Structure 1
């Protein structure tokens, strides 16, 4: 069985936040095992994690999960209705934009990086809107 670009994107959109949570668990585990934080001291938003990377990691992971339902719903719809021809051409661009958004978030929150992150997010929204309009038959 050959995976379509749509299926690869769907799997990637699930695998990426899984990798981010593994990084988060690893970072927190090292802090706990190193005696730098108590196991029950972590705030859900990562704001009390030493350094700013921990907070950015938590936010990047949460952002992936916040957007996954929209992305997965349209990709699954395409697969379930045998319409992957509509999504295959942009599926990997969607995944790439998602990865770029997260990576930029992990690197910095300086203004230029926030603009890059927004651009990557906008690409994802545009792709999802395009697909939705196509599925609804509003575009040829």
Structure 2
């Protein structure tokens, strides 16, 4: 039976992949239209539009969080302790996607505060999961 945790982990990976594919589709269009040479991209898209810079950072945020949050989900899955992670797994995934969407939309002070709040929820969930997984070991 598939656990909520495994669905959330797959969703997290799929979201990071979606952001990567979106970035590469836009980059490919820029190359094909002759606006940027194929070797003209920086990892942070600093030479591109503000949206592309935010997209690169939103993707990087997902990749940075994957070993931590994804790792906790994976530990729960492989040790058959998803009863710990399942109740908050969808909330975690939802706040991760929401954080990225807010990041893509704006860098205003309000948006940054909202984005940080979503990340703070993820951190709290991660701390809870880590504590409970260690306590039940």
Quickly name the TM-score band, shorter chain normalised.
over 0.9
Distance in 1 (CA, whole Å) between partners of 2:96 and 2:88 is 12
Instruction: Return the TM-score normalized by structure 1.
Output: 0.94
Distance in 1 (CA, whole Å) between partners of 2:125 and 2:32 is 43
Find the partner of 1:94 among 92, 95, 116: 92
Distance in 2 (CA, whole Å) between partners of 1:41 and 1:131 is 42
Instruction: Return the TM-score normalized by structure 2.
Output: 0.96
Query: Structure 2, unaligned stretches of length 5 or more?
Result: none
Q: Does 1:64 align with 2:70?
A: no
1:123, distance to aligned residue in structure 2 (A): 0.3
Distance in 1 (CA, whole Å) between partners of 2:66 and 2:89 is 13
Distance in 1 (CA, whole Å) between partners of 2:134 and 2:18 is 34
Query: Structure 1, unaligned stretches of length 5 or more?
Result: none
Distance in 1 (CA, whole Å) between partners of 2:120 and 2:47 is 30
Segments ≥4 residues shifted beyond 2 Å: none
Distance in 2 (CA, whole Å) between partners of 1:76 and 1:36 is 42
Distance in 2 (CA, whole Å) between partners of 1:21 and 1:132 is 28
Q: Does 1:117 align with 2:115?
A: yes
Q: Does 1:18 align with 2:21?
A: no
Length, aligned pairs only = 136
